[in-house]
């Protein structure tokens, strides 16, 4: 795994959407790309790095399911992460995002939660979209070439 290759793939992007799968990889040492996700979030956290991370409110909901099932300490940890990680900003949902998500789903056939996450990033000015889901890059890059689609598995 090489974080330098990941940094090269991100390039000079300053605004990145971090998908649920990448955030899960950050929290799970069992994930093959965990070191890459930690590097990425480390860059986001560092005030001297111009990289700012964004995530969809849909990702927040997805990340809270398991902690709600498991109990208070995990829930507190995840909620604290989502609400207070430096330079990581939650993107809200509105009718504009819903309309874009419906368009993405209609064109690509991807699941609606993924379409909603992508729509949030597409509309928020993100320059790169980081995921640990290979399908995102393969299916979306040809349609939305103005964004840098980064699949963490490419660097594992």
Domain that holds residue 96: 3-155
- State residue 39's pLDDT score: 97
- State residue 14's pLDDT score: 97
Calpha distance 128→18 (Å, rounded): 9
Q: Give me the number of domains the chain comprises.
A: 1
- State residue 1's pLDDT score: 58
- Under DSSP, is residue 90 helix (H, G, I), strand (E, B) or coil? strand
CB-CB contact of 92 with 61 (8 Å): no
How many residues does this entry show for the chain?
156
- State residue 16's pLDDT score: 97
Residue 136 pLDDT > 80: yes
Q: To the nearest whole percent, how much of the chain has pLDDT over 90?
A: 81
Residue 146 pLDDT > 90: no
Calpha distance 107→101 (Å, rounded): 10
Calpha distance 133→130 (Å, rounded): 9
Q: How many CA atoms lie within 13 A of 45 on its CB side?
A: 11
Region 44-73: what's the mean pLDDT?
A: 94
Quickly state the pLDDT bin for 138 (edges 50, 70, 90).
Answer: confident
CATH code at position 23:
3.40.50.1010
Least confident of 27-36, 61-70, 71-80, 110-119: 71-80
Name which of 62, 22, 54 is nearest 125 in CA terms. 54
Region 19-46: what's the mean pLDDT?
A: 96
CB-CB contact of 66 with 75 (8 Å): no
pTM here is 0.93
- State residue 43's pLDDT score: 98
Tokens of 108: 């690509």
Residue whose structure tokens are 């793939």: 9
- State residue 15's pLDDT score: 97
């Amino acid at each position: 795994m090489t974080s330098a290759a990941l940094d090269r793939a991100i390039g000079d992007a300053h605004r990145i959407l971090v998908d649920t799968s990448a955030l899960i990889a950050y929290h799970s040492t069992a994930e093959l790309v965990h070191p890459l996700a930690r590097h990425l979030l480390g860059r986001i956290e560092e005030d001297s790095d111009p990289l700012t991370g964004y995530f969809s409110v849909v990702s927040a909901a997805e990340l809270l399911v398991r902690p709600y099932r498991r109990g208070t300490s995990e829930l507190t940890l995840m909620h604290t992460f989502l609400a207070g990680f430096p330079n990581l900003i939650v993107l809200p949902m509105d009718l504009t995002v819903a309309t874009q998500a419906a368009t993405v789903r209609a064109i690509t056939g991807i699941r609606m939660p993924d379409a909603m996450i992508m729509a949030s990033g597409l509309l928020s000015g993100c320059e790169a979209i980081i995921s640990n889901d290979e399908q995102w890059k393969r299916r979306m890059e040809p349609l939305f070439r103005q964004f840098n689609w980064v699949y963490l598995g490419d660097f594992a």
